[in-house]
Amino acid sequence: MATEQDWFLEKFEPAGTAFGLRLGEKLHSERSDFQHIDIYQTDTFGRLMVIDGAVMLTDRDNFLYHEMLTHPALCLHPRPTRVLIIGGGDCGTLREVLRHDIVEQVTQVEIDERVTRLAEHYFPELCERNDDPRATLLFDDGIAHVQNAADSSLDLIIIDSTDPVGPAEGLFNRAFYQQCVRALAPDGMLVQQTESPLLHLDLIRQVHGSLKAEGFAETALLHFPQPVYPSGWWSATLAAKRGPLPEPVAARVAAMEADSRYFNAGTLAGALAQPGFVARALAVD
Amino acid sequence: MATEQDWFLEKFEPAGTAFGLRLGEKLHSERSDFQHIDIYQTDTFGRLMVIDGAVMLTDRDNFLYHEMLTHPALCLHPRPTRVLIIGGGDCGTLREVLRHDIVEQVTQVEIDERVTRLAEHYFPELCERNDDPRATLLFDDGIAHVQNAADSSLDLIIIDSTDPVGPAEGLFNRAFYQQCVRALAPDGMLVQQTESPLLHLDLIRQVHGSLKAEGFAETALLHFPQPVYPSGWWSATLAAKRGPLPEPVAARVAAMEADSRYFNAGTLAGALAQPGFVARALAVD
């Protein structure tokens, strides 16, 4: 019988919910320049990375998040050759982006180099494409990076951040989106993790409103399961400078299906289907 | 700041995960003839019913489960006039079934009358259709009820049970499915809650295999979010005596959409989309 000490428990205070995983040994713990990072072996979810007490990812279920944050946008954009990832220090998003042959260059701008160094050590499968010649890993401030990007120099910006408090707060506001619009080419798209449709619908509505106010013609909400995040039901917001949202490129979807565990044509369509309570909330703006 | 005592915490020992809700007051606690039942006020999820330490439902998110356990089958079946619910003591499933005008009679067979009496008191909105003249509430053993049902006397059997351990174990085996096949008319369908696609894929595969072995021509897995159940990602298994699975009746889907919070044509199609890892696992049988 497990004792209290054998569990990792995260309380999501604003949501009033908690999530836990039964633990094996603690593998690593450190305070980086930016945050506290812990790595555990869990009993049933493989390895677990925790930042400032919040679950970042586990071996067992990160495929859901990483596939659904990347492949929908990369299959919908007409020609996503130049990609920027903000955050994403575990490199799982980078790995999925690099599965697309059409991508010619992808830059990842993670503020905390230690997250990536620890991922290389403890989550090597997520980092298996880090040496791809198309990839550039920078350890810098993502907001400043976008401000310094040339006009129309990017096709897709992927914002793979922590929750919109603390370091990531500046990634969820109009000033940042304005710089994204400027740095994106006319066909450009942005995709951003936007928390739980059940718990954070006000945030999602606000993000969609801000994106449209800054010049994105179209936004869409993607739904997918993510068991280790609050409610187990997560979302990403897709925004396109040019509307209407194009149909997915079938050949690219098919190319991803065989080796994906979650993403395919059916789950992509399902992710874009809006439950009534979400559609009604987003229709207000 | 909440203290340890302010949280309800459920550890799913086989899965190695835990889920918690911040509590207000405890409203009720009793041992019925079958199980221990607790009712709490939570801080952010409304009221909570717990049976033998396991979350059954909350005010805030039960709509997901109740809509997705009922409307897909009721919209796919060509003419579901005679419906049987096994379990479902909180009456939320019954309420959704009775929203369909085509339903002429629905019998609910819950083993524990106390669950229903407590739902009437603490979850009155779930019980608001219990007085519908088409509804019959029985408090009896669901397995025996199906055994005693006349051949071809039912159009749809909905199995709204607890986990497949203890009282509900007999609802997940071939002997029970054999009786369901017999009691269902030639167009008959069955739908059963079948746990989490991430955590219980072996069970799901076994259920699909057993249903087909007992004479169901077609099975399909429905996916939907259910934040208070393990992983937050839940499933129901639909089985049809006659294949192939029909298209949903558009008029019935449309009639449900306006007043549903989750279910609509898009989320129905999305629920039926199979992630690769699930499709590959179910293709084995």
The residue ranges of every structural domain in chain B are 4-58, 62-258+272-283
Residues A27-40: what's their mean pLDDT? 97
Task: Please name the residue of chain B whose CA is at the shortest distance from the CA of residue A60.
Answer: B198
Chain B residues with CB under 8 Å of A266 CB are: 270, 272-274
- Give the pLDDT band of residue A166 (cuts 50, 70, 90): confident
Tokens of B18: 């835990």
Domain A4-58 has CATH 2.30.140.10: yes
- Band the pLDDT of B2: cuts 50, 70, 90: very low
Q: Quick check: B283 contacting A, CB < 8 Å? A: no
**Assigned CATH for B62-258+272-283:** 3.40.50.150
| For residues A78-92, average pLDDT | 98
Q: What is the pLDDT of residue B213?
A: 97
Contact (CB<8Å) A17/B19: yes
Band of residue B5 on the pLDDT scale cut at 50, 70, 90: low
pLDDT at B177 over 80: yes
Q: Say if residue A2's pLDDT is above 50.
A: no
Q: Does A62 touch chain B (CB under 8 A)?
A: no
pLDDT at B167: 78
On the 0-12 / 13-18 / 19+ scale of CB atoms within 10 A, A256 is: buried
What pLDDT does A168 receive?
86
Residue A1's pLDDT is 40
Give the rounded percent of residues in chain B with a pLDDT score beyond 90.
Answer: 94
Mutate to test the interface with B, among A21, A65, A233, A277 (most CBs of B within 10 A): A233
B108 backbone dihedrals φ, ψ, rounded to 5°: -110, 125
> Does A6 lie at the interface with B, CB-CB under 8 angstroms?
no
| Average pLDDT along chain A | 96
The shortest C-alpha distance from B44 to chain A (Å) reads 6
Nearest-angstrom CA–CA distance, A192 and A70: 10
pLDDT digits (tens, 9 = 90+) for B8-22: 999 999 999 999 999
Tokens of B70: 């009922």
B48 HSE (CA, 13 A, CB side): 28
Contact B231, A235 (CB under 8 A): no
Q: How many other C-beta atoms lie within 10 A of the C-beta of residue B285?
A: 12
The pLDDT confidence band at residue B1, using thresholds 50, 70 and 90, is: very low
Phi, psi for residue A11 in degrees, rounded to 5:
-100, 120
At B201, which helix (H) or strand (E)? helix B201-213
> What is the model's pLDDT at position A284?
63
Report yes or no: B9 and A18 within 8 Å, Cβ to Cβ.
yes
A179-203 pLDDT tens trace: 999 999 999 999 999 999 999 999 9
Share of chain B above pLDDT 70, in %: 98
Is B275's pLDDT higher than 80?
yes
The whole-chain average pLDDT of chain B stands at 96
What phi and psi values does residue B185 have, to the nearest 5 degrees? Answer: -70, 170
Judged by CB atoms closer than 8 Å, whether chains meet at B20 and A17 is answered as: yes
Q: Is residue A137 over pLDDT 70? A: yes
Give the catalytic positions of B in this structure.
160
- Helix ranges, chain A (H): 62-76, 92-98, 113-122, 142-148, 174-183, 201-213, 250-257, 265-272, 276-282
Average pLDDT over residues A148-156: 98
Q: Which of A64-78, A122-136, B164-178 has the lowest mean pLDDT?
A: B164-178
Indicate if ipTM > 0.90.
yes
pLDDT over 70 percentage in chain A? 98
* Contact with chain B for residue A41, Cβ under 8 A: no
Could you tell me what percent of chain A has a pLDDT over 90? 94
In this prediction, residues B108-117 reach a mean pLDDT of 98
Q: Which residues pair with A234 in a beta bridge?
A: A224
Q: What is the mean pLDDT of residues B144-160?
A: 98
Alpha-carbon span B284 to A198, nearest angstrom:
34
Q: Which fold has domain A62-243?
A: Rossmann fold (3.40.50)
Those residues with Cβ within 8 angstroms of residue A201's Cβ, 6 or more apart along the chain or in another chain: A277, A278, A281
